[in-house]
Amino acid sequence: MWRKSSRSGSATKCVEVASLSDGVAVRDSKDAAGPRVRVRSAGWAVFLAALRAGRFDQG
């Protein structure tokens, strides 16, 4: 089951994630049939921690 952030509201240009047994899959909501990236649980946790810490904030 694919989901997007609740902060996306009704936006159609979003990143969606789906839970897998060993991590997550990530896709672009504009191209649901397009490519997907699989990320293991540990890598996803590191990525989310960096997001929460503001490491990807611009300016």
pLDDT in tens, 13-58: 788 999 999 999 999 988 989 999 999 999 999 999 999 999 999 8
> Does residue 35 form part of some domain?
yes
Picking from 48, 8, 53, 56, the residue whose alpha carbon sits closest to that of residue 24 is: 48
> With contact defined as beta carbons under 8 Å apart, do 17 and 8 qualify?
no
How many structural domains are present in the chain?
Answer: 1
**How distant, in Å, are the alpha carbons of 29, 53, 58 from that of 12?**
7, 26, 22
Q: Is residue 4 one of the residues assigned to a domain?
A: no
Q: Which residue would you say has higher pLDDT here, 2 or 5?
A: 2
pLDDT at 6: 79
Is 48 within a domain?
yes
The answer to the question of residue 23 being in a domain is yes
Q: How many CB atoms lie within 10 A of CB 17?
A: 20
Instruction: Answer yes or no: is 6 within a domain.
Output: no
Output 31 or 7, whichever has higher pLDDT.
Answer: 31
Phi-psi region of 42 (alpha: psi -120 to 50; beta: other; left: phi over 0): alpha
Check residue 14 and give its pLDDT: 87
